[in-house]
Structure 1
Amino acid sequence: MTRSLGLEDNCFSDLYGNMDIRFNLYPPCPRPDLVLGFKSHSDSSLITHVLQDKEVEGLQFLKGDEWFRAPIVPDALLIIVGDQVEILSNGAFKGAVHQVVIHPDKERISVAAFCYGESYKIEPFERLVDESRPRLYRKMENYGDIFMENYQKGRRTIEEAKIYV
């Protein structure tokens, strides 16, 4: 990712400082049309590693106005780009909007590891801002805290970070 932007190899990974791991259990529901396992959102992390259930699908990604299922690849890690990479890359990479749906008959288990920057102060890398590519995101402080407030209200924090011209 960094090479495609002309940046140093470790500029994203050098920011890692915190990791949260979440084990997710989604019990079956006979009326899956009435519930979501996780509502639509993007992650506040740099990246998220997901180990999906080996048998039960449920993770979906939004592209345009359509939801697409994430296929099961046993024993593979799924990597999700988070909002912090979107901001750092000045929009070159986008945080993936996703949700989890419930299965009517089977429980689903997954493990997610969220990798965060050492600091919650985040802004685009200066090398990715110039006359041909203006700054698209303002500097954000306490991104994780702001993210949680917005998530509970059904809003994406990345919208607060955007600079509208």
Structure 2
Amino acid sequence: MAKSLNLEENCFLNQFGEKGFLQARFNYYSRCPSADLVLGLKPHADGSGYTIILQDDAEGLQVLKDDQWVTVPSIPHALLVLMGDQMEIMTNEVFKSPVRRVLANSERERISVAVFYTPEANKEIGPEDGLIDEERPKLFKKVKDYADIHWDYYQIRVESNPYCQSLKSY
């Protein structure tokens, strides 16, 4: 990615540090008879650097594009790689962190595994200097521990629902 932007090859790796952090989340979305009334997972962007998702063959993941929700095709055994907020910061918004959600399904359950990769603890990140100029001013300040700040703000709360239990994470 750095080379495609005419940057030093390791610039993003340097911002992640030597001890980048991986975290996995296993998601189970039960069948929901009232799928038209609930979401499996509310709209959000990821606070990670990257997110890698393995989905089963039940569609439900959507991304927001041009103010429209677009269903992401579910391709068996394929990995979906998404930029997270931290890569959006590092690239000064050249690469964007998509807003996504998961729809509930009235016909069948859905399972996915998401792996989040974030910079090492206390590592300061910010826009790469090579992506800042008069045409594209600096859009973000430098920040430490962004994922923690993001999690505190957007923390997912699993609430009981009289119609169905929409998300369980293990």
Match of 1:50 in 2: 53
Q: Which has the higher contact order (CA 8 A, sep 6+)?
A: 2
What corresponds to 1:8 in structure 2? 8
Size of the aligned set, in residue pairs, is: 152
1:128 aligns with 2:125: no
The amino acid that maps onto 1:56 is A
- Structure 2 stretches lacking a partner, 5+ long: 157-170
**Cα distance, 1:89 vs structure 2:** 0.2
CA-based RMSD: 1.7
2:27 aligns with 24
Counterparts of 2:143 and 2:8, CA distance in 1: 23
Aligned-residue identity in percent: 48
CA distance, structure 1, for counterparts of residue 9 and residue 154 of structure 2: 32
How far did residue 50 of structure 1 move? 0.4
Task: Choose the corresponding residue for 1:96, options 95, 98, 116.
Answer: 98
CA–CA distance in structure 1, aligned partners of residues 146 and 44 of structure 2: 15
Q: What's the CA shift for 1:143?
A: 1.1
2: CA distance between counterparts of 1:9 and 1:77? Answer: 24
Alpha-carbon displacement from aligned partner over 1:18-59 (angstroms, at most 9, x marks no partner):
000011000010011221111101101111110011x21110
Structure 1, unpaired ranges of 5+: 154-165
Determine if the alignment matches structure 1 residue 113 to structure 2 residue 153: no
Check if 1:145 corresponds to 2:143.
Answer: no
Aligned to 2:83: 81
